[in-house]
Amino acid sequence: MLIDLNVRVPTLESLESFIEMGNRLGLTGFATFLQRKTPFETLDSGMNLFARTDLPESGLRSAKATLKETRSRSAIIAAPLRGIDMANWAAEDERVDLLTIDEPLKDFILRESTAKLAASSGTALEVLIEPLLNSFGLARSKVVKVLRENVQTAIDAGMQVILSSGAKVVMSMRSATAMQYAGLLLGLDWHYAKIAVHESPQYVIDRNRKRLSPNFVSPGVEIVQKGELE
């Protein structure tokens, strides 16, 4: 399965065009910020939509409150890579799925200590391809440099890396192959880039589908119905 965990559909009216493009590119699902009735939704077309919440950057108190309010109805919870306190808290909290590198670039500093916390909790580094598409010349070189440094820090610490499009318009959505080539540009080898595009996003979705199940108690502990034991 091919899942894009960050497609920034601007309006409900434009959703259908993103779905059509996703089908053309071979996507089986994508995460959207649009409000959905359920965290996981399969449309008649076969496309899967996943409700995503990005925690606010206004401070830890606000981020914690939003997490508590939205975790049970979000397939994906992401926190911006902003500031040491926010990043360390998000990296350590198992309820946060992703630490997302977003603009402005000057704030993109993944510390080794933060990456190690994330590796222990299962929080992944999400790298968006969209900034690469919208930068040129020297600006693109700076984007690549910053992203490569953060990706290498994550890998050295054993932190998962996930590549997402970050598409704000339909034409910014990308196929798996295009995403993997972007991964090469960021210092990943082809095998790891494939994992970052295919396996890691699927793993996060599968993990959260279990966690949001009414039978889930804690990692490794689930309520088993009597009939399931017979």
| pLDDT, tens digit, 9 for 90 and up, residues 98-119 | 999 877 566 678 999 999 999 9
Which band of pLDDT confidence, cut at 50, 70 and 90, is reported for residue 132? confident
Domain boundaries, the chain: 3-211
Verify cis geometry, omega within 30 degrees of 0, for the bond prior to 201.
Answer: no
The amino acid at 23: N
Superfamily of domain 3-211 in CATH is: Metal-dependent hydrolases (3.20.20.140)
Residue 192 and residue 228: Cα distance in Å, rounded? Answer: 37
Per the DSSP assignment, residues forming a β-bridge with 164 are 128
Residue 221 pLDDT greater than 60, yes or no: no
Q: Kindly report the number of other CB atoms within 10 A of residue 11's CB atom.
A: 7
Which band of pLDDT confidence, cut at 50, 70 and 90, is reported for residue 131? confident
Q: Which of the 8 DSSP states describes residue 31? A: E
